Amino acid sequence: MSSKMNLTRAQFDEVMVPNYAPSAVIPVRGEGSRVWDQEGKEYIDFAGGIAVNCLGHCHPALVGALKTQGEKLWHLANVMTNEPALELATKLVDATFADRVYFANSGAEANEAALKLVRRYAMDKFGVEKDQIIAFDKAFHGRTFFTVSVGGQAAYSDGFGPKPQSITHVPFNDIAALEAVFSDKTCAVMMEPLQGEGGIIDADPEFLKAVRALCDKHNALLVFDEVQTGVGRLGELYAYMRGDVVPDVLTTAKALGGGFPIAAMLTTKEIADHLKIGTHGSTYGGNPLACAVGNAVLDVVNTPEVLNGVKLREQLLRDGLIAINAKYDVFSEIRGQGLLLGAVMNERFQGRAKEFLVAAINEGVMSLVAGANVVRFTPSLVIPEADIAEGLARFERAVAKVVEA
């Protein structure tokens, strides 16, 4: 029936809850890092579904995994396990610090599980008074009520009634501010190793070491939200692998399914043992279809060829943005790592990041924003070099249009 309908952007306003404001463009097909809309117009994808499509659109390995599993087994209740879930969990354990894996559907759900786990662990081991969760200004951890309250952006959490308690926010990368609020009542620190939604702000190595040391001193757990930074985005399988600081709990989603909904929470056996039978759950967590795709993603991404290729592509994209800025003087800096980069508006263009996004769409290249002052780029980890060059050429035309307007 739907194939006969004349589906338009106007119908969104008629049938959808108005919590999104999508563009007029409706993509209908994608291949690699190129996408085509209803009118047949082609776009270079520098957005990647917000760091989700880590292998682009319709990657043969992912399509093959989905088709093969789709003819075997779609879903089981969690009163049973399944082979794709066991295989994916084993790969994640083998590749990381973790001993145990919990599967969910989205980053918010993985973070919700992590937050419940750290509270339960602290209560079991130290008592109900140890309940403080420390998080950071501008952080983003999801849209459930717990995760949005832990996230450091009041605009997302205000207006829904009383918030979960014992959550403290401090400025990111501020060791003194963190020390001032830390105590033996602190049960956990939750942080992104590189803040995505908050403006592409990397954690200072010394700050990470200080967080780890304070957690160890006060018997608190360190939770890394790697929903956006994980699965190769920064050129390592997970961002924590860039340095010496290892979290106690890690959450991963977005790129883990390459576009198919899946998430996971990773932790150690000692901590995991506190989520006993019945304490938490997810109907679709560990779904065979999702885990089959996740296995294919890891098999492709967790290779030297792809991870080293991220760093090469980062340099091409960064150099291209710097060259554009040399001509038009619109950015104060290009920040971020790997293929999670942000072009920060300079004083002349404060608050106008979205204008560049809209102009880019008109020129045939998809980008993102991270707040009002940062244009964000999260393309496929395997985007062809030719597509980077073409996308940059289109983005330059968009920049010129904004500057000349």
Q: Residue 4 has what DSSP assignment?
A: G
Q: How far apart are CA 331 and CA 322, in angstroms?
A: 9
Alpha carbon separation from 34 to 242, 281, 358, 380, 390 (Å, rounded): 30, 37, 18, 10, 11
Q: Does the annotation place 9 within a ligand binding site?
A: no
Alpha carbon separation from 394 to 34, 150, 243, 400, 405 (Å, rounded): 13, 38, 36, 10, 17
Q: Does the annotation place 140 within a ligand binding site?
A: yes
Q: Residue 19 has what DSSP assignment?
A: T
Q: How far apart are CA 332 and CA 179, in angstroms?
A: 31
Would you say 243 and 205 are in contact if contact means Cβ atoms under 8 Å apart? yes
Tokens of residue 15, six digits: 């049938």
Q: Does the annotation place 203 within a ligand binding site?
A: no
Q: Does the annotation place 3 within a ligand binding site?
A: no
Would you say 339 and 317 are in contact if contact means Cβ atoms under 8 Å apart? yes
Q: Does the annotation place 161 within a ligand binding site?
A: no
Q: Does the annotation place 145 within a ligand binding site?
A: no
Q: Does the annotation place 264 within a ligand binding site?
A: no
- Which neighbouring-strand residues pair with 104? 263
Tokens of residue 276, six digits: 């006993």
The one-letter code for the residue type at 302 is N
Q: How far apart are CA 142 and CA 136, in angstroms?
A: 14
Tell which residue, 110, 145, 113, 149, has the closest CA to residue 133: 149
Q: How far apart are CA 183 and CA 381, in angstroms?
A: 41
Tokens of residue 8, six digits: 């338009």
Q: Does the annotation place 8 within a ligand binding site?
A: no
Q: Does the annotation place 225 within a ligand binding site?
A: yes
Would you say 144 and 291 are in contact if contact means Cβ atoms under 8 Å apart? no
Q: Does the annotation place 226 within a ligand binding site?
A: yes
Tell which residue, 290, 207, 216, has the closest CA to residue 253: 290
Annotated binding site for N(2)-acetyl-L-ornithine: 143, 282
Annotated binding site: 107-108, 140, 143, 225-228, 282-283
Annotated binding site for pyridoxal 5'-phosphate: 107-108, 140, 225-228, 283
